[in-house]
Structure 1
Amino acid sequence: MSDEEHHFESKADAGASKTFPQQAGTIRKNGYLVIKGRPCKVVEVSTSKTGKHGHAKCHFVAIDIFNGKKLEDIVPSSHNCDVPDVNRTDYQLIDISEDGFVSLLTDNGNTKDDLRLPTDESLLTQVSFRTHVDACFAQKVLLN
């Protein structure tokens, strides 16, 4: 999938921000961080000692949550970083229609029918194959 399909906008109207500030020195492994405008899950954090410019530095290695690419950033530990507000919801996959829409079952028993499968052929084949192999395959969908 192209980056345009998963464009992440870190700015929003007042009261509806998709990110919040957090001091770099408090961000830990398995946390989230925006690097180069992309929401990422932190897989490695290392902190250097105070240098000649007076700040300890945090080196973050993270994985983009939409495309899986590895990104790195170095930030003074006392500076704020943007942290994305990430919510994960798991659904059970019920059906895939011929036009590419999926029917999902929510935790409270309702169906969700407004999501379309990605157009990436290899990903589409993988999801379709797993659906036919195991009717109870739990499809994980990341929504914000």
Structure 2
Amino acid sequence: METIRNMFEHLNWANQRILETLQNMEGENKQVTNLFSHILLAEHVWFTRLKGPDSSKLSIWAEVSLRACAELVNQNNQNFKEFLSGLSKPSLEQIVSYRNSKGQEFNNSVRDILTHVALHGQYHRGQINLLLRANEIEPVSVDFISFRR
């Protein structure tokens, strides 16, 4: 449980760092903002799946303003913090059934879903950093070890 909680503390820390960088940039880079909003929308979809409601109609790719991204960062953090605080180690093995956006049904453990959410965001934050560097903007250190330091 401690590892998963650490992963989500890192996830929020990394999202906050990316958000601050985007808020401090001159102008807006739509490609970067769209990637960042994808991370946040996907976090929301996975949280919805963990809680049980149908998520198949929720978008994971949409144009979202930076202001809305800031709200999503805070809401996702609150949602996962509350979810994890009530989660026991045996609950990690519970199977969650859900439908993806194509209506296909899948079944995964809570542990696998939480691990996916943490890794998915880190993958896309790496893409964001590549785009920032291509636009001559200093990439954001979002490495887990930097977070732990």
Q: Structure 2 length normalisation: TM-score?
A: 0.19
Question: Which is richer in strand?
Answer: 1
Q: Structure 1 length normalisation: TM-score?
A: 0.20
Relative CO higher for 1 or 2, CA cutoff 8 Å, sep ≥ 6?
2
Question: Which is richer in helix?
Answer: 2
